[in-house]
């Protein structure tokens, strides 16, 4: 068990230490200081009290990345409740199923998503709130509704008196369930990955020690926050450090993402291969495929200067201020990776899965190896199910601090995936003598798309 208490250290302490500094910004919109986040968390905690939410109760959350989404997540976790983040592009029936299957008692939803949902299909919800307007959309408890109206008359007064010293959240053990994250299914319904707070601590603690973010650094959040990768490293890690996180709030097309990078100049950039590959094809290939450029690239002294210029151009596309770009979620195209190494671009490739919250392996860009996804995190143990794991690929098996508790209300799937304490990843890999992991394929029927989303066809 990790010694750092997630809620006390990575939410409460961060708010106290960064009180008057920017925490969240909605792209081209409003900015919220850490003290504003504290006030909004307090408001939501009062709402949870009114509706009788208890520690361990499930609260579903669906919407585009924005400040309100992030505040709702933090308020839920710091209350001792369990957050159920739902991907905004899930089908309506899938959303209904996840809300019901997770036993959620409250739902926070973006207005455009709520317009397509049927409240009668989610009969166990006590209340539904808009994350866009904070409005109460559905109330199934008349007394709570009345108390809510009374609460609103006093809440602004209470918030104005909030001080850093007053920040105190319920003590919740790291062994407690913190998140239920539902994976995608091409047919049938998805599985709910149960992540304890301990898994979040293991991921964030590693990021704090190895990625180099500092208070006041800026980060752009464009990966889906309902996905473990985006949540851990574009949101929870930078928030714990005291960074300013800008949420894109709109569909993250490469054009909009690059525009945001130019304006914000983030210190850390996360990317899925799809983004990198699109930029490579649209901005780099047309340059290096020119006949004159092909000639120059074959001249030993000139090619180094050209690669340096291309590196600068590509770095500028991402804002030019980043420590490194961490690529994860799916395999990187070998042709693209070869070129990135040739120009000495600052990138690293990580490996993870939702069931580990998500990180499994990583190493900084200056120590990376082509085709590898880094080395195992110190909070994990690994076995490769092969008689010759350095040369013959076998399934990667894991145990340790990052690993999930199991699949929610799906004991059969849990027993198939965690056998004798070892998580069966379904990934085939080899490990070189220095501990670098190389993924060689899949042993299970899971598709990993270039956008990094797990899809289970069965």
pLDDT of 152: 75
pLDDT of 444: 62
pLDDT of 250: 86
At residue 240, does pLDDT exceed 80? yes
CA distance 412 to 425: 16
At residue 188, does pLDDT exceed 70? no
Q: Which of 172, 229, 169, 177 is nearest to 203 (CA)?
A: 229
pLDDT in tens, 268-323: 999 989 889 988 898 889 988 899 898 988 888 889 999 999 999 999 999 999 99
Q: Does residue 384 lie in a domain region?
A: no
At residue 67, does pLDDT exceed 50? yes
pLDDT band at 449 (very low <50, low <70, confident <90, very high): low
Q: Which residue has the tokens 């036993």?
A: 103
Q: Beta-carbon neighbour count of residue 136 at 10 Å? A: 16
pLDDT in tens, 316-346: 999 999 999 999 878 889 999 999 999 999 9
Q: Does residue 114 lie in a domain region?
A: yes
pLDDT band at 443 (very low <50, low <70, confident <90, very high): confident
pLDDT in tens, 3-44: 999 999 999 999 999 999 999 999 999 999 999 999 999 999
pLDDT band at 158 (very low <50, low <70, confident <90, very high): low
At residue 457, does pLDDT exceed 50? no
- Kindly report which listed range (296-300, 345-349, 402-406) carries the lowest average pLDDT score: 296-300
- In order of 34, 40, 44, 111, 456, the CA distances from 157 in angstroms are 18, 13, 15, 28, 49
Q: Which residue has the higher pLDDT, 446 or 278?
A: 278
Residue spans of alpha helices (H) in 51-141:
67-79, 92-101, 111-114
What angle do the packed helices 34-50 and 142-160 form, to 10 degrees? Answer: 150
What's the mean pLDDT in 402-416? 97
At residue 379, does pLDDT exceed 70? yes
pLDDT band at 171 (very low <50, low <70, confident <90, very high): confident
CA distance 452 to 275: 11
Q: Does residue 273 lie in a domain region?
A: no
Tally of structural domains, the chain: 1
Cβ partners under 8 Å of residue 411, min gap 6 = none
pLDDT band at 168 (very low <50, low <70, confident <90, very high): very high
- Kindly report which listed range (149-158, 196-205, 435-444) carries the lowest average pLDDT score: 149-158
**Average pLDDT of the chain?**
93
- pLDDT > 70 in the chain, percent: 94
Q: Does residue 77 lie in a domain region?
A: yes
Q: Does residue 408 lie in a domain region?
A: no
Q: Does residue 203 lie in a domain region?
A: yes
Q: Does residue 61 lie in a domain region?
A: yes
| CATH number assigned to the domain comprising residue 146 | 3.40.50.12780
pLDDT band at 415 (very low <50, low <70, confident <90, very high): very high
pLDDT band at 185 (very low <50, low <70, confident <90, very high): low
- Kindly report which listed range (176-190, 254-268, 316-330, 373-387) carries the lowest average pLDDT score: 176-190
- Kindly report which listed range (48-57, 171-180, 183-192, 390-399) carries the lowest average pLDDT score: 183-192
Domain of residue 89: give its range: 6-247
Q: Does residue 443 lie in a domain region?
A: no
pLDDT of 456: 44
* Residue 436 DSSP label: B
């Amino acid at each position: 068990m990790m010694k750092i208490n997630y809620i006390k250290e990575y939410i409460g302490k961060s708010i106290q230490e960064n009180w008057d500094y920017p925490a969240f910004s909605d792209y081209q919109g409003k900015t919220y200081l850490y003290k504003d986040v504290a006030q909004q968390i307090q408001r939501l905690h009062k709402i949870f009290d009114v509706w009788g939410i208890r520690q361990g109760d499930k609260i579903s959350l669906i919407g585009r990345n924005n400040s309100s989404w992030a505040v709702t997540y933090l308020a839920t976790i710091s209350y001792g409740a369990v957050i159920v983040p739902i991907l905004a592009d899930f089908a309506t029936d899938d959303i209904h199923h996840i809300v019901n299957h997770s036993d959620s008692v409250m739902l926070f939803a973006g207005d455009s998503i709520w317009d397509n949902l049927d409240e009668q299909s989610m009969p166990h919800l006590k209340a539904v709130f808009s994350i866009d307007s904070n409005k109460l959309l559905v109330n199934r408890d008349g007394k709570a509704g009345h108390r809510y109206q009374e609460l609103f008359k006093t809440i602004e007064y209470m918030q104005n008196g909030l001080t850093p010293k007053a920040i105190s959240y319920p003590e919740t053990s790291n062994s407690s369930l913190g998140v239920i994250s539902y994976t995608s299914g091409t047919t049938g319904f998805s599985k709910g990955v149960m992540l304890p707070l301990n898994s979040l601590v293991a991921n964030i603690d590693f990021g704090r020690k190895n990625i180099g973010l500092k208070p006041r650094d800026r980060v752009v959040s464009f990966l889906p926050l309902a996905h473990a990768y985006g949540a851990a490293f574009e949101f929870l890690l930078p928030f714990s450090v005291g960074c300013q996180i800008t949420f894109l709030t709109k569909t993250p097309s490469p054009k909009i993402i690059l525009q945001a990078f130019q304006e914000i100049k983030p210190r850390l950039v996360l990317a899925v291969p799809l983004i990198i590959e699109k930029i490579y094809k649209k901005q780099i290939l047309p340059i290096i495929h020119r006949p004159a450029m092909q000639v120059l690239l074959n001249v030993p002294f000139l090619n180094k200067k050209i690669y340096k210029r291309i590196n600068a151009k590509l770095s500028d596309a991402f804002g030019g201020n980043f420590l490194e770009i961490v690529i994860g979620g799916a395999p990187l195209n070998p042709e693209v990776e070869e070129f990135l190494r040739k120009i000495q671009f600052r990138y690293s490739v990580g490996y993870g899965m939702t069931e580990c919250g998500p990180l499994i392996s990583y190493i900084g860009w200056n120590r990376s190896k082509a085709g590898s996804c880094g080395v195992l995190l110190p909070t994990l143990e690994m076995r490769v199910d092969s008689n010759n794991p350095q040369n013959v690929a076998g399934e990667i098996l894991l145990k340790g601090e990052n690993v999930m508790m199991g699949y929610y209300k799906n004991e059969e799937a849990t027993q198939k995936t965690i056998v004798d304490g070892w998580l069966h990843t379904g990934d085939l890999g080899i490990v070189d003598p220095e501990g670098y992991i190389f993924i060689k394929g899949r042993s299970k029927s899971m598709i990993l798309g270039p956008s990094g989303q797990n899809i289970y066809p069965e």
